[in-house]
């Protein structure tokens, strides 16, 4: 008897409509989001491209643009363009459409395994093991019991009822010596459930996971990471997303995601990421830029952006900032 598909596998399933043409089966819109989760769109587009290349080719890079918010009430269709088929490299393009419009485009390149003596990597930071960090669900349940966060209980309950199929464990800055204002954060991630031994699937899962929290890193220096502070934002949405796959890994085993934001300017935030296996191998690098806009005059009773730390002295706002 075949093993039941995990929630992550179901999120990345495609229906083949014709040669080079595929359709999504299940789309996820996070609570409070403008549209379909961007990471899922990246993962689905990569899955469509991977279906058109031989099994011994594996993706080594992808570059994509988010053009319009995806509608989770109807499927997205993915058309694959066979740009080039070489002996060592294969190139594919993918366009994602809804309502007759292109909502997302992706270019990706696949490579056969190649040995090289020129090998180096940046070392993995020293962090607490994932087992010592609370999961997102555990933290949400704690906040649900906290009367100081009563105004956010409805949102918390909605998030618990509509979970992401990823086990995420955000590492508190103080545990690794990061200043609260430093544009850097780290978290352990892995897909929930055991996945098949299919490297193409593990690449798509990593693409799905890599979009979560990355752009938020650019908000940290501006005190816009808490629930009340985030309400001062008028828009936060990804513009483009890029990934480089360096070495094999399993996406259902713990991966450390190290995220940094070197620059924010002109209403855009830029962030980069490095993903390591638990034994310290750097297996993926990421980069993303997105729109980050906020109101100069926050709603009544909310602290102005950049003053969140001073406002956090109040117990109620301390609880809100944790969200």
Candidate list 11, 24, 211, 252, residue with the active-site label: 211
Cα–Cα dist 55/87, whole Å: 13
Range of the domain at 98: 7-115+130-321
Q: Return d(Cα 147, Cα 143) in angstroms, integer.
A: 8
Determine whether 266 is an active site residue: no
Indicate if 211 belongs to the active site: yes
Instruction: Among 156-170, 181-195, 243-257, name the one with the lowest average pLDDT.
Output: 156-170
pLDDT for 296 = 63
Give 118's DSSP letter.
-
> Does a structural domain hold residue 158?
yes
3-61: per-residue pLDDT in tens? 788 999 999 999 999 999 999 999 999 887 889 999 999 999 999 999 999 999 999 99
Contacts within 8 Å (CB) and 24+ apart, 122-127: 122/274, 122/282, 123/280, 124/256, 124/258, 124/276, 124/280, 124/282, 125/176, 125/186, 125/256, 125/258, 126/176, 127/171, 127/175, 127/176, 127/186, 127/256
Q: Is residue 2 part of a domain?
A: no
Q: Which of 238, 261, 264, 285 is catalytic?
A: 238
What confidence tens digit (pLDDT) does each residue in 215-249 have? 999 999 988 776 555 556 778 899 999 999 999 99
Q: In 3-state terms, what secondary structure has residue 170?
A: strand
CATH number of the CATH domain containing 195? 2.40.160.210
Stated pTM of the model? 0.87
Q: Where are the alpha helices (DSSP H) in the chain?
A: 7-11, 38-50, 136-144, 153-161, 199-210, 227-230, 308-311, 315-321
- Exactly one of 11, 64, 210, 288 is catalytic; which is it? 288
Mean pLDDT of 71-86: 97
Work out how many domains the chain is built from and give that number: 1
Kindly state whether residue 239 falls inside one of the protein's structural domains.
yes
The whole-angstrom separation of Cα 227 and Cα 141 is 16
The answer to whether residue 251 is domain-embedded is yes
> Does 1 fall in a domain?
no
User: Is 171 within the bounds of a domain?
Assistant: yes
Answer yes or no: 285 catalytic. no
pLDDT tens digits, 279-299: 999 999 999 999 998 876 544
Query: What percentage of the chain's residues is helix, strand, coil (to nearest 5)?
Result: 25, 35, 40
Q: Is residue 273 part of a domain?
A: yes
Q: What is the pLDDT of residue 297?
A: 55
22 lies in a domain? yes
When pLDDT is cut at 50, 70 and 90, the band that residue 154 belongs to is confident
């Amino acid at each position: 008897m075949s093993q039941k598909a995990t929630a992550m596998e179901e999120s990345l399933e495609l229906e083949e409509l014709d040669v080079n043409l595929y359709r999504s089966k299940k789309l996820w819109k996070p609570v409070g989001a403008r549209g379909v989760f961007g990471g899922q769109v990246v993962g689905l587009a990569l899955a469509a491209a991977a279906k058109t290349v031989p099994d011994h080719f594996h993706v080594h890079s992808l570059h994509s643009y988010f053009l319009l918010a995806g509608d989770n009430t109807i499927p997205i269709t993915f058309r694959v363009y066979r740009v080039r088929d070489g002996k060592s490299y294969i190139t594919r393009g993918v366009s994602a459409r809804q309502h007759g419009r292109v909502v997302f485009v992706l270019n990706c390149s696949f490579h056969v395994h190649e040995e090289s003596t020129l090998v180096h990597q940046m070392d993995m930071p020293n962090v607490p093991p994932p087992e010592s960090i609370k999961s997102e669900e555990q933290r949400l349940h704690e906040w649900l019991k906290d009367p100081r966060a009563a105004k956010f209980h409805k949102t918390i309950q909605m998030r618990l009822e509509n979970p992401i199929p990823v086990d995420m464990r955000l590492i508190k800055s103080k545990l690794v010596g990061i200043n609260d204002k430093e544009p850097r954060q780290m978290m352990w991630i892995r897909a929930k459930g055991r996945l098949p031994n299919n490297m193409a699937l593990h690449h798509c899962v990593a693409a799905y996971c890599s979009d979560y929290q990355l752009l938020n890193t650019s908000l940290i220096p501006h005190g816009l990471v808490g629930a009340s502070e985030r309400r001062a934002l008028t828009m936060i949405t990804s513009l483009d997303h890029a990934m480089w796959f360096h070495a094999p890994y399993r996406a259902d085993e713990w991966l450390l995601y190290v995220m940094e934001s070197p620059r924010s300017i002109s209403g855009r935030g830029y962030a980069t990421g490095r993903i390591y296996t638990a034994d310290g191998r750097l297996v993926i690098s990421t980069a993303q830029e997105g729109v980050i806009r906020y109101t100069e005059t926050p709603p009544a009773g909310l602290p102005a952006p950049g003053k969140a730390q001073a406002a956090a002295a109040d117990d109620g706002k301390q609880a809100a900032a944790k969200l």
